[in-house]
Structure 1
Amino acid sequence: MTYRINEIFETLQGEGTFTGVPSIFIRLQGCPVGCPWCDTQHTWDVKQEDQVSVATMMAKSEATSEWAEMSSADIVELIKQRGYRAKHVVITGGEPAMYDLRELGEVLEAQGMRLQIETSGTYELLITAGTWVTVSPKLDMPGGYLVRSDCLSRADEIKHPIAMQKHIDALDRLLQGQKLKSDVVICLQPISQRPRATELAMKTCIERNWRLSVQMHKYLNIE
């Protein structure tokens, strides 16, 4: 099995439960959900003319839609060659759940790594049992995809981007009647760090004992 990789890099996780944890990000190409505020819109389309070599993909100095095809073994070898030391691997996109990630997860876990997937919850999750699932539910997006109940029930963390009260109300409607894990972490993440959204998220998190996710990497100006 091979994967279309937009980029692989080592940095700090900037969002959610693992904020501040050294992490290897594997960004997969392709996403049909169409979130208007998405900061990785270059990962949406999978075009054959954008396929490049692994060396070219890794040499990119800016965000582009270029991707390279890699196997699980290729990814492990690249991590070793680059000398990455992080043991936390974040599989993101795009929409990573478009791919069957079980083989990749098993190979990485065999190397002593912990996996996290960041997904919109709109595709069936084909992952290892040990993968930490972060569902960032995307509601009423242009792509018309629905958030799946099986994704919500598997979620270890639900991280919801908000700008206004209506976004919190929409999350409440989504979660009503859902069977969630008893220890699921619910995070509110202000869209684009807008002051009003941040104030609303802080207020709601305090009232409900939820968690604030502030996209630390954007404040630090790191990838």
Structure 2
Amino acid sequence: MIYPINELFETIQGEGVYTGVPAIFIRLQGCPVGCPWCDTQHTWDKSADDRIAITDVLAKQQASTQFAEVSPDDILAQIQALGFTAKHVVITGGEPCMYDLRPLAAVLEAAGYRLQIETSGTFEVLTSPQTWVTVSPKVDMPGGYAVRADAMLRANEVKYPVAMHKHIEQLDQLLLDCPVQPGTTICLQPISQRPHATELAMRICRQRNWRLSVQLHKYLAID
């Protein structure tokens, strides 16, 4: 299996249950969902013209559509060569579940890493049983992809972006249509740190004993 890598870097996880944990991010290229507020729109399209070497990906100084095609063994080799010390690996995108992630999970877990996937829930989740799956379900997006019931059922964590009360209503309906496993963590994440969205998310979290995800990395101005 070969994966299109747009970015590979070490940082602090800024969202969800693992907020504050040192993490290695593997950002994959390609996503057809089309979320209007997406802050990684450069990962949407995958053109052969944008294929470059992994060394050039690692040298990028700004966001771009360029990506490298890399095997699981080579990804591990790059992580080790870069001297990253984090043991938590976040596979994101783009939409990582466009790809079968089981070969990559097998290699990284055998080397002692813990995996987390961040997905929109619009593709089947193919990964190891041990992977922490964060589903950030995208409802009624321009791409026209429906959130899958099997993806919601696999979620360890549901992280839902909110800006107004209708988004809470959408999440309520989604949880009725696509139930999650007992014990799944529900996080509300204010879109773009808007004060009204943050207040709404805090209020609903208090009412329902859900969890607030504040995108810590944006407040700290880090990747």
- What is the TM-score with the length of structure 2 in the denominator? 0.99
Give 2:78's aligned residue.
78
Q: Does 1:185 align with 2:208?
A: no
Distance 1:170 1:177 in 2: 10
**Number of matched pairs:** 223
Secondary structure of 1:39's match? coil
Distance 2:153 2:164 in 1: 25
Give 1:175's aligned residue.
175
Give 1:220's aligned residue.
220
Give 2:150's aligned residue.
150
Q: Which runs of 5+ in 1 are unaligned?
A: none
Q: Does 1:94 align with 2:94?
A: yes
CA distances 1:40-74 after superposition (whole Å, capped 9, x unpaired) = 00000001110011111110011100000100010
Cα deviation, residue 181, structure 1: 1.4
| Amino acid across the alignment from 2:192 | S
The CA RMSD measured in Å over matched residues stands at 0.6
Q: How does 1:10-25 map to 2 (within 5 A)?
A: 10-25=10-25
Q: How does 1:1-223 map to 2 (within 5 A)?
A: 1-223=1-223
Q: Which runs of 5+ in 2 are unaligned?
A: none
Contact 2:148–2:178 (8 Å) recurs in 1: no
Cα deviation, residue 182, structure 1: 1.1
- What is the TM-score with the length of structure 1 in the denominator? 0.99
- Segments of 4+ moved more than 6 angstroms: none
CA distances 1:98-133 after superposition (whole Å, capped 9, x unpaired) = 000000001000011100000000001110110000
Identity between Structure 1 and Structure 2 (%)? 64
CA distances 1:67-106 after superposition (whole Å, capped 9, x unpaired) = 0010001000001100001000000000000000000001
Cα deviation, residue 177, structure 1: 4.7
